[in-house]
Structure 1
């Protein structure tokens, strides 16, 4: 699979996860933050998935898989512990649907990278299935480097960028400001307030 990274908007899109075990649970937890319409197909669920179902976070169909379960799906995740069932899911998937195969990444057309977020900042790591353990290690290293202070910093950068875009500055001056925001240290709240005040005065 020649995979490229993409950011995907799944809000209100139908995501069908077939399987109710630990791997399916991990996929569901990743999807929860996307605000997708999550449907889980499985005769049984882990205790955590059961709690999510009881809390109204997902729709559970307590049954074995059938091809009809995939109708109108935007994203399908084959995550059972039965190779024959996973193969049936892949064969039943409609054309042009997003398909993730947990058992065999190459059998689908998308992968779930290991990832973490700091507010508006999202960082993902993938080894294209070569070594999930290495991907997890790199993620841990990056999580230390890009710690919680980046949450407020990204909020500041977003607000500053909006002010710059709306300003009467020339295109080149806008680029200079945008570069300055990341080239210089603007992590301290006092410094951020000073920069925003400057930008407000340009309007």
Structure 2
């Protein structure tokens, strides 16, 4: 059996079409909101959540039945209706270059969305290859406890300091030491990361010169 290839897609300004207006479709739409994608929902009816997002201008809701032309320019396609025949029609309407996932047919899909957690720049995805979405959800819950909200500011700190180190530190050995040392529980839990970093920098710089 061929294994899947995990990727992180950048969807900014890409057209993503979600066909269906029920709870499953709403979950798919919600997961797309912060990606910068142009999200279009195609369905005669929609949940209150989908309607609210449309009223707020965050998505487009085309209140109509599906037609093959609805997915012509889509980068990603979510077939999320409760009608298997319609979902299969959506798959057949997609071009060979388009990515399609069917809510009721994982094997007939050419991509699926894993369970995941997001902590700022930190993204962790969990997939069982469709074997057990329940297990994937359980693992996600465990990881949510292990990687709490503190990681969001910690990743911002790491990104900022990595940029500074690469720009300001010329000594290659000192660079490596700094980049390694800041990835630690001490900096994760510190309330004074910037001050602690400068102390570390001065200490390692003296150590490297000796």
The question of a shared fold, defined as TM-score above 0.5 by the shorter chain, is answered with yes
The aligned residue for residue 117 of structure 1 is: 118
Give the SS at the match of 1:116. Answer: strand
The aligned residue for residue 89 of structure 2 is: 88
- Point out the structure with max Rg over C-alpha: 2
Residue 197 (structure 2) pairs with residue 195 (structure 1): yes
Residue 125 (structure 2) pairs with residue 136 (structure 1): no
**How far, CA to CA, are the matches of 2:145 and 2:82 in structure 1?**
34
**How far, CA to CA, are the matches of 1:151 and 1:196 in structure 2?**
21
The aligned residue for residue 3 of structure 1 is: 4
Structure 1 residue 141: Cα displacement: 0.5
Gaps of 5+ in 1: none
Q: Which runs of 4+ in 1 moved over 6 A?
A: none
Gaps of 5+ in 2: 206-210
The aligned residue for residue 22 of structure 2 is: 21
CA, structure 1 residues 149+184, in 2 after alignment: closer, same or farther (shift >3 Å)? closer
The answer to whether the Cα contact below 8 Å between 1:186 and 1:192 also exists between their aligned partners in 2 is: no
**How far, CA to CA, are the matches of 1:121 and 1:97 in structure 2?**
27
The aligned residue for residue 174 of structure 1 is: 175
Structure 1 residue 97: Cα displacement: 1.0
Q: Give me the TM-score of the superposition, normalised by structure 2.
A: 0.90
**How far, CA to CA, are the matches of 1:148 and 1:197 in structure 2?**
26
**How far, CA to CA, are the matches of 1:85 and 1:16 in structure 2?**
14
